[in-house]
Structure 1
Amino acid sequence: MPTVLTHGVAAAAIGAAILPRRTGWRTWSAGIACAMLPDVDVIAFGIGIPYSAMLGHRGLSHSIFFAAILTMLAAFALRGRTPPNARLRVWQFLFAASLSHGILDAFTNGGLGIAFFGPFSSERYFFSVRPIEVSPIGAGFFSRRGLDVLKSEMLWVWLPAAALVVVSLAYRDGKRTRQ
C-alpha cells in the first residue's frame, strides 16, 4: 500500500482537477479523509481477521462498493455546506478520492491484491504494471525501506499529482481569460 500521506496527496490533486475554485476546507478535508480511510482495515491484523478475508486488509474497504457508500456518507455530511451548483462536482471529487485508494494500492508490488468488487466477489486484483513500492505497516516505515517507499511514491504518485494540479490550474486560468 502507498503511505497514508500519498493517498492524501492523490486526493488533493483530484480535488484540484474537479472542485470549484472556492471550495471550503471541509470539502477538501472530507475528500482527503475518504482517500485515507480505507486503510483503517489494518486493524484486522490486530483482531485476528485473516488478510485474505473480505474484512481483511485491502478487502471490502478498498472496493468500489465501499467507495460509493463512503461517498454517500461524506456527501450527506457536507449537504448543508455545498451550494446546489457545486454538488455534482463535490460528489465526483469524493467518489474519485475514495476510489483512488484501491487504485493506487493495485499499483503496488506487494500484498494480496485489491477486492475491487467486494462484497460481491472476494477475488483480488493487481494491475499488470506495479511500480509503487509497498509500504511497511507500523514502525517498519521508519527505516531505510520507508525512505525507499517515499522515493517510489514521489516518482509514481506525487510528480503526476503535481502535474495534474499544474495542468488543472492552467486550464482554469486559460478558461477564465477566454471568457
Structure 2
Amino acid sequence: MASIGHVAVGLALGRYEANGKATRRLLASMALFSALALLPDADVVAFVFRIPYSAPWGHRGASHSFVFAAGIALLVALVARWRGASATRWGGLAFVAVASHGLLDALTDGGLGAALLWPFSNARMFAPVRPLPVSPIGAGMLSPRGMYVVGAELLAFIPLWAYALWPRRSARRS
C-alpha cells in the first residue's frame, strides 16, 4: 500500500477518539493514530541494514504482526493510564490502528504477504481476496504505477476519509 489507506484509518480512529472534543484534541488524536497506523512500515530500515525482505525482521515481517500491535497497544494503554485517561479505550484504539496495517497489507496484490502471526509463525499471509494494488517502494512512487496506486487507495478509502474529514457542526452551548 502507498500509506494513503493507513493514514485514512488513523485519521478515522482519531476522529472517533476525539468524539466532538476541541479541535486541538481532534488534531492530536488524528496525528497520533495516523502515526500508529504507519508505524509497522518503520521496518523499511531493514533494507539499509541489508536484512532480507523475507526475514522475520524484514519488511512486512514482525512489525506487521498482531503481537507487535498488542505490544504497542500495551505501551499506549500504560501512557494513557499514567495520564489519567482510559487505558482500555486508548489501548484498544491503538491496537486497531497498528493491527490494521498488517491486515491492509495482506489485501494487496503483491509482495510476500504479512507475517500476521509472528512469533508463532514466520509465514507471510495474504487475504483470500486482494483488491488493493501493491505500491512501489521509494522513488518508484513517482512513477505512473505509483500514481495509479495512490489514486486507487484514495478511492478505496473514501468512506474513512469522509468520516475523518467531513466537517461537523460544533456543539451548541446551552
Q: TM-score, normalised by structure 1?
A: 0.81
Residue 14 of structure 1 deviates from its aligned partner by: 2.8
Distance in structure 2 (CA, Å) of the matches to 1:126 and 1:148: 21
Distance in structure 1 (CA, Å) of the matches to 2:93 and 2:128: 26
State, as a whole percentage, how many aligned pairs show the same letter.
42
CA contact (8 A) 1:27 1:78 kept: no
**Equivalent residues in 2 for 1:98-113, closer than 5 Å:** 98-113=98-113
Distance in structure 1 (CA, Å) of the matches to 2:32 and 2:80: 8
Equivalent residue, structure 1, for 2:148: 148
Distance in structure 1 (CA, Å) of the matches to 2:16 and 2:28: 17
Worse-superposed segment, 4-13 or 65-74: 4-13
Equivalent residue, structure 1, for 2:14: 15
Determine which structure has greater relative contact order: mean sequence separation of CA pairs < 8 Å that are 6+ residues apart, divided by chain length: 1
Cα distance change on mapping 1:26 and 1:75 into 2, 3 Å: farther
AA matched with 1:46: V
**Equivalent residues in 2 for 1:10-159, closer than 5 Å:** 10-22=9-21, 24=25, 25-83=27-85, 86-157=86-157, 159=158
CA contact (8 A) 2:41 2:59 kept: yes
Residue 95 of structure 1 deviates from its aligned partner by: 0.9
- Number of corresponding residues: 166
Cα distance change on mapping 1:28 and 1:88 into 2, 3 Å: farther
Residue 15 of structure 1 deviates from its aligned partner by: 3.2
AA matched with 1:115: A
Q: Which has the higher helix share?
A: 1
Residue 120 of structure 1 deviates from its aligned partner by: 1.3
Distance in structure 1 (CA, Å) of the matches to 2:19 and 2:150: 30
3-state SS of paired residue (1:94): helix
Residue 6 of structure 1 deviates from its aligned partner by: 2.8
Distance in structure 2 (CA, Å) of the matches to 1:87 and 1:142: 40
Show structure 1 runs of 5+ residues with no match.
Answer: 174-179
